[in-house]
A and B are shown apart, each in its own frame.
Chain A
Amino acid sequence: MSSESAVPDIAILNAETTAPPLTPRQLIMRRFRKHHLALWGVVGFILISAFILIGSILVNNTRANEVDLQARLSPPSQAHWMGTDSTGRDIFARMIHGGQISLIVGFLAVAISVSLGTIIGGFAAYYGGWVDIILMRFTEAMLSIPALFLLIVLGKYLGRDVQTIIVFGQSYSGSVGIVIVVIGVTSWMYLARIVRANVLSLRELDYISASRSLGASNMRIFFRHLVPNTMGAIIVSSTLGLAGAILNEAYVSFLGLGVQPPTASWGNMLTSAQSFIQRGAWWMWVFPSLFIIITILCINLVGDGLRDAFDPRSNRHI
């Protein structure tokens, strides 16, 4: 706004009426910022990720596996900030390593499940007919197969052949890969149904038939038009799916079927902590539990914020 302007009001009026409206992305961001809890979630998640990432650089993974029988079951101290576990390994180092596992498993499993869910649900709705029937029945079948089974069987057959995976110089148990695949392959069903419902209503729209009559191939229509318009559901599902995947990993590792020792995971750290609760070794279970809960809480809050933000009808106050 120029202070030399003779008639500033008209200029302002003109500017406002001719200013471009906010883009959808900006609208979404604005709605997201109104959701205060979601903002806390973002802060929390950034802090935990920083802990894990910076920790990984400063503390080598081998520290997480150093056995020291003399120092077993010691409470937090100068030497071991979070105490030691039943074989004397440093819990602080294991928390960092376990955090790596949680994030890796979470992101990769969600990537798999979101891809599968989008493609299966989308194709079922788009092509219809036999494709729809077969894919939807397949979805129901997957809903009935317990993930725990797949973990036992795959763990038995692949667990010995794929002993360790080395990534960026850190070595992980092969069971991490198995857990990622199993969680990914057993969590896509809900998203598939949602995507299918969305695409069912979208495919009848005019601009889709217009694209088709222009000669666009099915793939192009699918990935260029339908999927981006389902993005809201996909993003929300990915975020909540991330929380679900991390929770799932903790659950199956706790049961002993997930990430196998000696690789640390917050879930399998709790398995061993169980036997020592009544012995007073609170540090063995407090830290993993706290981190699991806070991480999942933050991701859930962010996901909830995104769900509100993407839903155009959820703003009575804007």
Chain B
Amino acid sequence: MWAYIARRSIQALFTLLIITVLCFILTRLSADPLAQYATNPNMTAADREALRERLGLNQPMPLQYFKWLGLAVQGDLGISFFSKQPVLLMISQRLPNTLKLMVTAEIITILLSLFLGIVSAIKQYSLLDNIISTLSFIGFSMPIFFIALGAMLIFAVQFKAWGLPYLPTGADIWNTKDPVALIQHMILPVSCLVIITTAGYARFIRTSILEVLGLDYIRTARAKGLNNRTVFFKHALRNAALPLVTIIGLDIPYLLGGALVTESVFAWPGMGRLFWEYAQRGDFPVVLGILLIISTAVVVFTIITDIVYTFVDPRIRLS
């Protein structure tokens, strides 16, 4: 088992190396960090050249990559070209905000989808099942930008205009460490995220519960005389929830990346916005720093998930 983890860790390092190379190439090719200075007539050609040299942007690409890599393995993610701040500092300032949003949304999604999944599994094809399914599928089918923008315009702008109790737009000045303000500002973005992801999880839970309910040992338990409730909660649910755990494990890395559109619509100072704004500027220290963190999380959680598989289903052997 430890040998397996060691092997996977070494493979993980290679994967990360390749990911960073690919992302570096993609970032450098997509935007020029000095593009923002292109049309200002105040900067002469000599000024731009001096800046390019100072930032090390006129060196050959492989050299720029290895310089970045050398510092990254020491834990120094470099300095952003644009904001002149250390990348690690910028990320550590934004990450808690994103986690507050995404973890809350994930927890609410899991609880809500467990409830909906169980109800629709028990009452399969009934009217209740159909109503729940329809509503959750409508939510699932909405593009995030539609629901986020709509929610913001209706519940924040219009409600205030109509004199109703309203929620903040997010564009007001508030302290992310103040619990009351935090909850007020989280209501809309979290709701949007929950609406679009709940249906997916709920259907998955429903399917795996139905699968388990059809198995022989459930029939045996019922034949033994156990009532439905005991059968359900003691046996079925436990086994049905395990696949859900692995799905959650695979989704966790993306909680770090934040939700780009949601953070943009609600002016949330998080990682998604950081990534999007700096990617457009071609600021590769920041972008690579974020991607490195996310890829590390993806790789680590994949290993964890694969190990959990073996505990869940002893038939699967670690190769």
Q: Do chains A and B touch in the complex (CB under 8 A)?
A: yes
Inter-subunit contact B146/A293 (CB<8 Å): yes
**Residues B293-315 near A (CB distance < 8 A):** 294-295, 298-299, 302, 315
Least CB distance from B257 to A in Å reads: 8
Least CB distance from B267 to A in Å reads: 16
Contacts of B137 in A (CB 8 A): 37, 297, 300-301, 304
Least CB distance from B69 to A in Å reads: 16
Q: Is A160 interfacial (CB-CB < 8 Å)? A: no
In the complex, identify which listed stretch (B24-32, B75-83, B163-171, B221-229) lies at the interface while the others stay far away: B24-32
Contact of B27 among A35, A149, A277, A304 (CB under 8 A): A149
Contact of A314 among B134, B142, B207, B294 (CB under 8 A): B207
Contact of A141 among B19, B134, B144 (CB under 8 A): B19
Inter-subunit contact A293/B22 (CB<8 Å): no
Complex alpha-carbon distance, A34 and B145, angstroms: 34
Q: Interface residue tally of chain A, by bracket?
A: 35 or more
Complex alpha-carbon distance, A77 and B146, angstroms: 25
Contacts of B295 in A (CB 8 A): 141, 144
Complex alpha-carbon distance, A250 and B23, angstroms: 24
Over the window 131-174 of chain A, the binary record of Cβ atoms lying under 8 Å from chain B Cβ atoms (1 yes, 0 no) is: 01100010011011110111011001100000000000000000
Contacts of A144 in B (CB 8 A): 19, 23, 291, 294-295, 298-299
Complex alpha-carbon distance, A274 and B298, angstroms: 34
Q: Is B203 interfacial (CB-CB < 8 Å)? A: yes
Contacts of A148 in B (CB 8 A): 279
Contact of B319 among A132, A141, A156, A314 (CB under 8 A): A132
Inter-subunit contact A293/B141 (CB<8 Å): yes
Q: Is A128 interfacial (CB-CB < 8 Å)? A: yes
Complex alpha-carbon distance, A274 and B145, angstroms: 10
Complex alpha-carbon distance, A35 and B137, angstroms: 14
Q: Is B49 interfacial (CB-CB < 8 Å)? A: no
**Residues B240-279 near A (CB distance < 8 A):** 261, 279
Inter-subunit contact B30/A149 (CB<8 Å): yes
Give the interface SS of chain A, mostly helix, strand, loop or mixed: helix
Q: Is B11 interfacial (CB-CB < 8 Å)? A: yes
Inter-subunit contact A145/B26 (CB<8 Å): yes
In the complex, identify which listed stretch (B90-98, B103-111, B210-218) lies at the interface while the others stay far away: B210-218
Q: Is B65 interfacial (CB-CB < 8 Å)? A: no
Over the window 271-313 of chain A, the binary record of Cβ atoms lying under 8 Å from chain B Cβ atoms (1 yes, 0 no) is: 0001001000000000001001100110011001001100101
Least CB distance from B305 to A in Å reads: 10
Contact of B299 among A140, A156, A301 (CB under 8 A): A140
Interface centre among A129, A144, A277, by most B CB within 10 Å? A144
Q: Interface residue tally of chain B, by bracket?
A: 35 or more
Complex alpha-carbon distance, A100 and B294, angstroms: 36
Inter-subunit contact A313/B214 (CB<8 Å): yes
Least CB distance from A192 to B in Å reads: 13
Contact of A254 among B145, B207, B279, B316 (CB under 8 A): B145
Inter-subunit contact B207/A307 (CB<8 Å): yes
Query: What number of A-B contacts does a CB cutoff of 8 Å give?
Result: 116
Over the window 193-204 of chain B, the binary record of Cβ atoms lying under 8 Å from chain A Cβ atoms (1 yes, 0 no) is: 000000000010
Over the window 119-159 of chain B, the binary record of Cβ atoms lying under 8 Å from chain A Cβ atoms (1 yes, 0 no) is: 00000110000100110011011111110010001000000
Least CB distance from B156 to A in Å reads: 13
Contacts of B149 in A (CB 8 A): 274, 277
Inter-subunit contact A251/B11 (CB<8 Å): no
Contacts of B27 in A (CB 8 A): 149
Contacts of B143 in A (CB 8 A): 247, 250-251, 254, 267, 289, 292-293
Inter-subunit contact A296/B26 (CB<8 Å): no
**Residues A86-102 near B (CB distance < 8 A):** none
Contacts of B23 in A (CB 8 A): 144-145, 149
Contacts of A307 in B (CB 8 A): 203, 207
Inter-subunit contact A270/B15 (CB<8 Å): no
Complex alpha-carbon distance, A128 and B317, angstroms: 12
Q: Is B18 interfacial (CB-CB < 8 Å)? A: yes
Q: Is A235 interfacial (CB-CB < 8 Å)? A: no
Complex alpha-carbon distance, A156 and B27, angstroms: 12
Q: Is A178 interfacial (CB-CB < 8 Å)? A: no
Interface centre among A34, A146, A308, by most B CB within 10 Å? A146
Contacts of B141 in A (CB 8 A): 243, 247, 293, 296-297, 300
Complex alpha-carbon distance, A258 and B29, angstroms: 17
Least CB distance from B125 to A in Å reads: 6
Inter-subunit contact B124/A317 (CB<8 Å): yes
Inter-subunit contact B213/A316 (CB<8 Å): yes
Contacts of A143 in B (CB 8 A): 298
Contacts of B30 in A (CB 8 A): 149, 152-153, 156
Least CB distance from B284 to A in Å reads: 11
Q: Is A59 interfacial (CB-CB < 8 Å)? A: no
Complex alpha-carbon distance, A292 and B261, angstroms: 17
Complex alpha-carbon distance, A247 and B26, angstroms: 24
Beyond the given A128-B319, A129-B319, A296-B141, please list 7 additional residue pairs across the A-B interface where CB-CB is below 8 A.
A37-B130, A141-B18, A156-B29, A267-B143, A300-B140, A304-B203, A315-B214
19 contacts between A and B (CB under 8 A): A37-B134, A37-B137, A128-B319, A137-B11, A143-B298, A144-B298, A145-B291, A149-B30, A152-B26, A152-B279, A251-B144, A255-B261, A267-B143, A274-B149, A289-B143, A296-B141, A297-B138, A313-B215, A314-B214
The 7 closest A-B pairs by CB, nearest first: A313-B214, A144-B295, A296-B141, A297-B141, A152-B30, A314-B210, A149-B26
Which A residues are closer than 8 A to B by beta carbons?
Answer: 34-37, 128-129, 132-133, 137, 140-141, 143-146, 148-150, 152-153, 156-157, 200-201, 243, 247, 250-251, 254-255, 267, 270, 274, 277, 289, 292-293, 296-297, 300-301, 304, 307-308, 311, 313-317
